[in-house]
């Protein structure tokens, strides 16, 4: 009995402490997400763990999300990491940054099919942010890092 207990205790650290589901999506689910009809302000951030500017802007995105917790604003992080890294690199990053936002892992290698769905002007570089308020007919795309001040300004104007 003691041997079994010891075995169980040794295996406990191997159980992942990460509990957030990371939904792996394709182009159809992305299109559905981008075409939601709601009075919520959606901030879609396209990023990857291997992208230094993406990881540098993450604290500002999370800070803005926290400030608007009691408003109809939702941050959705669309990861462009490899699906094979979902349970390792991506999960570790989410845990490290204490991310509670919805995380979608886009598994669609044909960028030319889905990039124009986000914005026709997008060259494909990341990070990239789409601010979408369907109920107000508002859609603003920002390629590159978005500053805390700029993101907050967009959201503030939409929730008033």
> What is the rounded CA–CA span in Å between residue 125 and residue 144?
7
Specify the residue for token string 């079994």: 4
Structural domains in the chain, CATH included, are: 20-159 (3.40.30.10)
121 alpha-carbon distance from chain centroid:
21
> What is the rounded CA–CA span in Å between residue 112 and residue 119?
11
Residue 9 is predicted with a pLDDT of 41
Q: Give pairs for 138-146: CB < 8 Å, separation 24+.
A: 144/53, 145/53, 145/56, 145/57, 146/57, 146/60, 146/61
Residue 21 is predicted with a pLDDT of 84
Residue 89 is predicted with a pLDDT of 96
Give the residue from 101, 71, 105 showing the smallest Cα distance to 85: 105
Residues 6+ apart with CB under 8 A from 74: 40, 41, 42, 43, 101, 102
Residue 88 is predicted with a pLDDT of 95
Contact, 138 vs 60, CB < 8 A? no
SS3 call for 110: coil
- Tens digit of pLDDT at every position of the chain (160 positions): 545 443 444 444 444 444 468 999 999 999 999 999 999 999 999 999 999 999 999 999 999 999 999 999 999 999 999 999 999 999 999 999 999 999 999 999 999 999 999 999 999 999 999 999 999 999 999 999 999 999 999 999 999 7
Residue 5 is predicted with a pLDDT of 40
């Amino acid at each position: 009995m003691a041997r079994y207990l010891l075995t169980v205790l040794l295996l406990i650290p191997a159980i992942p402490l990460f509990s957030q589901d990371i939904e792996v999506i394709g182009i159809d689910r992305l299109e559905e997400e981008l075409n939601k009809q709601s009075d919520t302000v959606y901030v879609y951030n396209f990023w990857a763990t291997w992208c230094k500017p993406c990881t540098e802007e993450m604290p500002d995105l999370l800070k803005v999300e926290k400030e608007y917790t009691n408003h109809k604003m939702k941050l959705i992080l669309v990861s462009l990491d490899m699906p094979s890294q979902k349970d390792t690199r991506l999960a570790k990053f989410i845990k490290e940054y204490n991310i509670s936002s919805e995380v979608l892992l886009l598994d669609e290698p044909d960028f030319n099919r889905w990039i124009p769905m986000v914005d026709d002007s997008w060259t494909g570089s990341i990070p990239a942010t789409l601010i979408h308020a369907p109920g107000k007919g508002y859609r603003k795309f920002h390629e590159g890092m978005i500053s805390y001040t700029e993101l907050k300004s967009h959201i503030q104007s939409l929730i008033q």
